[in-house]
């Protein structure tokens, strides 16, 4: 039976292993797609095209392209959204200003993952870079600062914003000095972000549940099709 295969952002883990073993430079990282039923690429502080410093990024981009080419479900969040977009030919650049904190996105097209969403929804942002829309992709959402907040390309869904954040994860972020520095530079504060999270999270939670549950269901369907193909 095929389980939901999830490939998470692994660059920091690779770096930690390298340091522990006194490896000065990692030349290549290979990720095997195999028979996983879906791929999830999450966020991180690096740029999506920082291949020289983080060689795992190129492996993740290759993995995303390979998954999309066979119709395997792919989900990208923040950096993951950018990795998928650039792997599909989009351009990456620095935004006009960091987008950090809660702000509205406008839903500009329909997607079955977003069937419960209103036209405008306040979500949590935390990014500097932005991507263009890959050729042939369906734009799903935008904000005042970022034209491509969500898109669909075949079996892939990219979301620049953060639906995965829980109260516990938020506090972990706010314990990171680098993230607090970015938050303050964008004009925010810990107290403001906590208050905004408490206000908006009750409305976002069912939307997040729908997105992630729908993705998991699609992965399950894909896994079942793989199993049937093997048995046939």
Which domains, ranges and CATH numbers included, belong to the chain?
A: 11-231 (3.40.50.880)
Helix segments in 22-151, DSSP class H? 56-69, 79-87
pLDDT for position 182: 95
Is residue 162 annotated as a catalytic residue, yes or no? yes
Judged against a pLDDT cut of 50, whether residue 203 lies above it is answered with yes
Which position among 9, 125, 162, 219 bears the catalytic label? 162
Which position among 9, 78, 81, 125 bears the catalytic label? 78
pLDDT for position 87: 97
pLDDT for position 7: 43
pLDDT for position 25: 59
C-alpha separations of 90 from 61, 66, 206 in Å? 12, 16, 30
Judged against a pLDDT cut of 90, whether residue 28 lies above it is answered with no
Share of the chain above pLDDT 90, in %: 69
């Amino acid at each position: 039976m095929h389980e939901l295969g999830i490939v998470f952002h692994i660059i920091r883990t690779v770096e930690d292993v390298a340091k522990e073993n006194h490896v000065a430079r990692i030349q290549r990282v290979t990720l095997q797609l195999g028979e996983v039923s879906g791929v999830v690429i999450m966020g991180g502080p690096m740029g999506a095209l920082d291949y020289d410093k983080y060689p795992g990024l190129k492996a993740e981009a290759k993995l995303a392209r390979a998954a999309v080419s066979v119709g395997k479900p792919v989900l990208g969040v923040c950096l993951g959204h950018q990795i998928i977009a650039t792997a599909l030919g989009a351009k990456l650049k620095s935004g006009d200003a960091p987008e950090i904190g809660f702000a509205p996105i406008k839903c500009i097209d329909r997607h079955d993952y977003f069937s419960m969403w209103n036209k405008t929804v306040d979500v949590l942002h935390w990014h500097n870079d932005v991507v263009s829309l890959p050729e042939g992709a369906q734009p799903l959402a935008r904000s005042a600062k970022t034209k491509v907040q969500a898109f669909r390309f075949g079996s892939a869904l990219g979301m620049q914003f953060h639906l995965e954040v829980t109260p516990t994860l938020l506090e972990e972020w706010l314990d990171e000095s680098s993230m607090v520095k970015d938050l303050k530079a964008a004009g925010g504060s810990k107290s403001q972000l906590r208050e905004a999270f408490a206000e908006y999270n009750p409305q976002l939670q069912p939307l997040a549940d729908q997105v992630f549950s729908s993705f998991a269901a699609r992965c399950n369907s894909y896994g079942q099709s793989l199993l049937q193909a093997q048995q046939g």
